[in-house]
Amino acid sequence: MQTTRKSWPTVVTLTTQITQDNSREEFSFEEEGILTLTQNALYIRYTERQQDLETPVTFKISKIDDILLHRHNDFTDMQLHFAPNKTFQTQYVTTQGNIPIAVRTDTFVNQITAEHPYGKLAITYSLLNNDSIIGTYTLNLAIAKAK
């Protein structure tokens, strides 16, 4: 049996707010991407372009409100796992070495599903190292039809 896979172009808008040590930064991107629907998950792939650095990004949204975010470039590789009210261990891979971190999902609102692939995703999460908060992040992702 062959798996059913459908892909089409999309527009990805991502805004991330980062709070670390009482300072706050915000980053926004609007990029063209590809939305791929498989039997088990929805994949959103695009490339972030910032300060002459291109970073391929993949969101994997499973059917059970379980989301993986993978970002990698020549300098870093990070996979974050989000699920409502859960914490997952991971590694932040850099050219200077690996940093063990935990990803704690604090709030989770997902309107993007296989049945409704366009919509919004909002996640607030904390990154921790040895139970100490490195930072708190708010991720807002919007997926729209390509024009």
Domain 6-145: assigned CATH number:
2.40.128.20
Helices (H) and strands (E) in the chain, counts: 0, 10
Q: What's the whole-model pTM score?
A: 0.89
Could you state, in order of their start, the residue ranges of all structural domains in the chain?
6-145
pLDDT tens-digit series, residues 54-90: 899 999 998 777 899 999 888 888 999 999 989 999 9
Contacts of 130 (CB under 8 A, 6+ apart): none
